[in-house]
């Protein structure tokens, strides 16, 4: 780097370290923001305009050397991110990246939990060239915006859990009734777009209750130790919570499918024991699928979402439920208008 003075070399190194890689361009700083964090390295005796010009010269030097780049060329103010130079990556960093990726793949692939890979790589990947510009995850379900909750409530809940303390809460239930319980937190669960706190209430040994975080109006960590619920297991609670329709068992599902659903189930099985075979030529469907799946509301929503591309053959109870739901939908929308 063509810089004569050691102080400036040190200052340029600090400046480069403060600038994130951020392939998406989010959170990239401008000169004044950087000056605010490195104020002591620019002469306080100089005017504000002179200090901005000084840091701008340093930024121009880093751009010229290929260490950083402008996110918004021509914009005012310009914002900067660290350049992603794979050839210049520290070999130790790249060795760490390879180790991380191998570990993620080894842990996630056997269980078909690919979301673990993407979440970790999106979190740590910026430092070795894998960020939002190279990784994208599209959900095949409609994502709802998370329910609003107060940051201080979540912070207090996490602190109470970490320290095994009580939680002094003000809570408004679904009917609008306000209460101020002393809670004994057991675990946090995110279910879809909502966060829930498993907790015992006041001096009750049971039942274990679920409190929606968005219904807390306030919460703070209490002085006393929290009580543990006897026999509580978060894994068991999650399994029970997933069984939100027709029980907590499994169902031997038999379907006729066509269109994109047939293609999808050939690539992505409903279960490890799924079988799929072609339907006869005169059938309105292209394939017949059999699979053992958990009996949940999520399964019902998936079947309804497939529309006319799936027909439930068995079990009879599930066929009746799907037919009943479709009849209710038909009553809402009425008969289709003639083409």
Given a cut of 50, whether residue 1 has pLDDT beyond it is no
| Model pLDDT, residue 89 | 52
Lowest-confidence segment of 9-13, 80-84, 126-130, 241-245 by average pLDDT: 241-245
Distance CA(113)–CA(131), nearest Å, equals 20
Summary mean pLDDT of the chain = 82
Task: Round to the nearest angstrom and report the end-to-end CA distance of the chain.
Answer: 72
- pLDDT level of residue 221 (50, 70, 90 thresholds): very high
Lowest-confidence segment of 84-98, 134-148, 185-199 by average pLDDT: 84-98
With 0.85 as the threshold, say if the pTM is over it. no
Mean pLDDT for 119-134 is 60
Q: Within the chain, where are the H helices? A: 6-18, 31-37, 48-64, 91-108, 114-124, 151-163, 234-242, 259-267, 297-305, 316-333
| Model pLDDT, residue 232 | 85
Q: What percent of the chain has pLDDT over 90?
A: 37
Distance CA(291)–CA(299), nearest Å, equals 12
| Model pLDDT, residue 121 | 65
274 in Cβ contact with 291 (< 8 Å): yes
Given a cut of 80, whether residue 67 has pLDDT beyond it is yes
118 in Cβ contact with 109 (< 8 Å): no
| Model pLDDT, residue 158 | 93
More confident residue, 155 or 101: 155
- Report CA Rg, the chain: 28
| Edge-to-edge strand list for the sheet holding 287-294 | 275-278, 287-294, 250-257, 310-314
């Amino acid at each position: 780097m063509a810089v004569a003075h050691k102080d400036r070399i040190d200052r340029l190194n600090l400046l480069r370290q403060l600038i994130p890689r951020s392939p998406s361009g989010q959170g990239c700083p401008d000169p004044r923001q950087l000056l605010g964090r490195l104020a002591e390295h620019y002469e306080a005796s100089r005017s504000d305009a002179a200090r901005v010009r000084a840091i701008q010269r340093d930024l121009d030097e880093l751009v010229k050397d290929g260490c950083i780049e402008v996110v918004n060329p021509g914009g005012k103010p310009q914002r900067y991110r660290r350049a992603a130079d794979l050839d210049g990556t520290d070999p130790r960093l790249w060795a760490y990246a390879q180790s991380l990726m191998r570990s993620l793949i080894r842990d996630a692939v056997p269980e078909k939990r690919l979301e673990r890979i993407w979440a970790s790589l999106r979190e740590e990947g910026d430092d070795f060239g894998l960020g939002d510009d190279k990784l994208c995850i599209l959900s095949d379900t409609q994502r709802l915006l998370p329910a609003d909750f107060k940051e201080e409530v979540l912070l207090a809940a996490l602190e109470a859990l970490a320290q095994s303390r009580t939680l002094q809460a003000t809570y408004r239930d679904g009917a609008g009734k306000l209460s101020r319980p002393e809670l004994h937190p057991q675990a946090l669960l995110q279910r879809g777009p909502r966060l829930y706190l498993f907790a015992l209430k006041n001096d009750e040994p049971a039942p274990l209750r679920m409190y929606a975080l968005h219904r807390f109006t306030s919460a703070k960590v209490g002085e006393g130790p929290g009580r543990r619920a006897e026999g509580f297991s978060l894994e068991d609670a999650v399994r029970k919570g997933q069984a939100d329709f027709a029980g907590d068992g499994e169902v031997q599902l038999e379907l006729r499918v066509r269109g994109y659903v047939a293609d999808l189930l050939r690539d992505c099985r409903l279960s490890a024991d799924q079988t799929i075979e072609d339907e006869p030529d005169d059938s309105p469907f292209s394939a017949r699928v059999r699979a053992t799946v958990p009996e949940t509301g999520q399964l019902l929503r998936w079947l309804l979402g497939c529309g006319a591309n799936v027909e439930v053959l068995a079990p009879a109870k599930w066929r009746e439920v799907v037919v009943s739901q479709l009849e209710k939908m038909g009553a809402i929308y009425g008969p289709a208008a003639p083409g």
